[in-house]
Structure 1
Amino acid sequence: MSVTAPPASVDATLAMLTSRGYLAERALATVVFLALRMNRPLFLEGEAGVGKTEIAKVLSAALGRRLIRLQCYEGLDVSSAVYEWNSSAQMIAIRLAEAAGDTDRAQLSSDIFSEHYLIKRPLLQALEPDMAGAPVLLIDELDRADEAFEAYLLEVLSDYQVTIPEFGTIKAPQPPIVIVTSNRTREIHDALKRRCLYHWVDYPNAQRELAIVKSRVPGISAKLSQQVVNFVQALRAQDFYKSPGVAETLDWATALTELDARALTAEVVGDTLGALLKYQDDITRMQGDTLQKVLKEATEET
Structure 2
Amino acid sequence: MTTWFASPADAVDRLGTAGYLADRATATTAFLAGSLEKPLLVEGPAGVGKTELAKAVARATGAELVRLQCYEGLDEARALYEWNYKKQLLRIQASGEQEWDATHDDIFTDEFLLTRPLLTAIRREEPTVLLIDEVDKTDVEVEGLLLEVLSDFQVTIPELGTVTAVRRPFVVLTSNATRELSEAVKRRCLFLHLDYPDAEREREIVSSQVPELEDRLAEQLVAMVGRLRELELKKAPSIAESVDWARTLVALEIRDLDDKAVDDTLGVVLKHASDTDRAVRELRLRK
User: What is the letter of the counterpart of residue 97 of structure 1?
Assistant: S
The answer for unaligned runs of 5 or more in structure 2 is: none
Distance 1:288 1:144 in 2: 33
Aligned residue for 1:296?
none
Aligned residue for 2:61?
63
Match of 2:168 among 167, 175, 179: 175
Distance 1:5 1:38 in 2: 9
Aligned residue for 2:38?
40
CA distances 1:93-132 after superposition (whole Å, capped 9, x unpaired):
111112xx322x22221111111111111111101132xx
CA contact (8 A) 2:11 2:30 kept: yes
Q: Does 1:97 align with 2:92?
A: no
CA distances 1:232-288 after superposition (whole Å, capped 9, x unpaired):
112222222222121111111111111111111111111111111122111101124
Aligned residue for 1:83?
81
Amino-acid identity (%): 46
Match of 2:212 among 206, 209, 219: 219
User: TM-score, structure 1 length as denominator?
Assistant: 0.91
Aligned residue for 1:107?
102
CA contact (8 A) 1:5 1:63 kept: no
The answer for unaligned runs of 5 or more in structure 1 is: 294-302
Aligned residue for 2:274?
281
User: What is the letter of the counterpart of residue 167 of structure 2?
Assistant: Q
Question: Deviation at 1:192?
Answer: 0.7
Question: How does 1:120-131 map onto structure 2 within 5 Å?
Answer: 120-130=115-125
User: TM-score, structure 2 length as denominator?
Assistant: 0.95
CA contact (8 A) 1:160 1:172 kept: yes
Question: Deviation at 1:143?
Answer: 1.2
Distance 1:26 1:94 in 2: 58
Question: Deviation at 1:292?
Answer: 4.9
Distance 1:277 1:291 in 2: 16
Distance 1:134 1:287 in 2: 48
Distance 2:76 2:248 in 1: 40
Q: Does 1:24 align with 2:22?
A: yes
Aligned residue for 1:272?
265
User: What is the letter of the counterpart of residue 73 of structure 1?
Assistant: Y
Distance 2:266 2:25 in 1: 32
Q: Does 1:196 align with 2:192?
A: no
